[in-house]
Structure 1
Amino acid sequence: MTTVDPVQPAASATDALPTIPALSEIEEAARSLEGVINHTPLEYSLHLSEVLGAPVSLKLENLQRTGSFKVRGATYRLSRLTAEERARGVVAASAGNHAQGVALAAQQLGIPATIYMPLGVPVPKLLATRGYGAEVVLEGPTVAVGLERALEHSERTGAIMIHPYDHRDVVIGQGTLGLEIMDDAPDVETIVLGIGGGGLIAGVAAAAKARAAAEGRTVRVIGVQAENAAPYPQSLTEGRPVQVDTKPTIADGILVGRPGDVPFAIIKELVDEVVTVSDDDIARALLVLLERAKVVVEPAGAVGVAAILAGKVHSAGRTVAVLSGGNIDPLLLQRVVAHGLAASGRYMTIRIPLPDRPGQLSRVSELLAEAGANVIEVLHTRHGQGLQISEVVLQISVETRGQDHRELTLQILRDAGFRPEVLPD
């Protein structure tokens, strides 16, 4: 069994320690994680470099063990437990990446682990977590319910609660990713990565800023949140963690309504800028990464690239975008790719009411051929809301070459007297 070099735990609570981890602490964590985590690749992206107008490299943390960065912080956090604490076991709540990180870390260290996951958790994540030896308890519709049950479990059994981001040791463990970036891209000027609760960006910022300062230079760190779950902009404005209402987002890995206290204190001091991206931006980024970089990334892991493509990042020097995870359910990937194609103007489904007489379907087909649109799927029916008794409806999915071609296709149909309506993807 692979083991982690034991590190003596702090003698006092984490809030008695300096807020920002020292470079030496993160370097010590990196040494303790050698042989346990992967030093993930850094690959140059010609396409993103052309978009940004500056060299862009991708930090492929989606290739990390368990498929995300979470194993770094989880392993370091568990390695700091005393023998007595390890014997009590650990408990966590997660819908995916944190669950797998804690499960693998506990397996490596021989610590009993219980993970609470929501009832609707994707099957691949459930099987992976169980595969690492953790006891999985399916409870409630959301992670919030699982978190309540995990806290109750901790109080009832004495198991150590492992928070996904709001603990100093977790932040230090995630900071080892920042050291790898600085080692592999010593001329980096800007690092772009996603923010959920804040553990990853807090650790990366602490490591990168300290390493750059030791070398007599600076590095910028830009955080990215999903528009539908973005507590950091308001929290930074008010100078304290603020709870915000969230909406569903495809980037469920960073769907957090309130910053963690520990990472927020670091982020407000070290992170230079926080921007937001839409679900359409994220879907486009996933599509670009598939087509141009040949990598599979989960939505939360692609928000840095989404920000670059959306023009939210400005940098004149080498930029590194962190792909923080690759655990995406195949069925979700299928839907996201379709969404990304639609958002890029390369796919649309249109609804066209037609007079119920021969030749109308043939005429529409001729017009689409004239426009150069490729037909993917056709539904021709007399049943539908808003139809008169003398009408039928044609629902047709077509592949186009971009926004301009999409608009041209629609205009050709309109000029011929049809009333095409683009349906939401």
Structure 2
Amino acid sequence: MAQVLGRRELGRALLARQWLLERADATVEEAVTRLVGMQAQAPYAPYFGLWSRLRTFGTADLADALTERRLVRVALMRSTIHLVTTADYRSLRPWAQPALDRELNTAFKTPLTGLDRAAVAESGRALLDARHLTPKELGAALHERWPDREPHALATVVRNLVPLVQVPPRAVWGVGGTTRYATAAGWTGAEPDPAADSERIVLRYLAAFGPASVADVQTWAGRTRLRPVLERLRPHLAVFRDEHRAELFDLPDAPRPGADAPAPVRFLPEYDNLLASHADRGRVISAEARKRVMTRNGKHATILVDGQVTGAWKLDRAKASATLEIDLFRPLTAAERAEVEAEGTRLLKFAAPGASHDLRMETLADRDDPVRGDRQ
């Protein structure tokens, strides 16, 4: 009979794979590869995600990797923007195509009915090979040829059918800028690899997020029908069950710390893949905490205490000052509170060196409306 792993054990295993139990000595590219990309539609989110995972990290490490084209921001799993290495874009982009197709066939079904999507994609590719365009500019240019179609829908066809990157200065720390597209092939000098290796990609997912069920893998990917991949891999995997008897797969030698392994306080950015890559996310976030984290506009940045999401945070910057607002979902012990304050102070020093710092913390557990403000 397969060993049963409780939620705390699954949580500790996940945190170990994510370098959130202990920061790692690794480069930015090594970290992004290890994590199979980082969700990055919030342009500065990966900076905070890497800071929480790496022993030595500065904002220039990621900014330089973007401007030097060693890392790119491209629509991948779940049709969301991910930060990946240029090598991983080649394999992950074709593999993620079903998720991108599904978005077109659901959210954009009506405005795209009867449209020759391939023709739109090729027209968009030609436009972007000529110059970098914002989504609005791309949609307007396509609208000239297809005047009966919505510009946004036309631009999305190109975004989802043609591998595109968001080019710097978008997401460059301290510079920033609007989203501008280039073709990924033109920007990186390499075409996507059509022979995507599903088994290799699933093994990489398990290394970063396991143990995991078939449903977990599919949630991360935004794809269905991945059970045959796990079945082919089964002879090479360790098999467990969770508290609900769901079957879990894992790499035999992957770290699985005990339920009582120390889990330090960590600050995670909005949209961190830690909270988006499993069907059952109870290993790191409770159902009640998830309600507090989710907003109409997305997800709050979160705080892990003892391996569970226990609060949300927001950084407000002014010219010469920075304020870190921390909203806790439950009262903390004195030791936990001190650890949150210490880690929050380190975050302020990382994000706003040279500025005056203010840290404000309050508990929202007893409020009727636990979510206050927009955390984007």
TM-score normalised according to structure 1 size: 0.24
* Higher Rg: 1
- Structure number with the higher helix fraction is 1
Higher relative contact order (CA 8 A, sep 6+): 2
TM-score normalised according to structure 2 size: 0.26
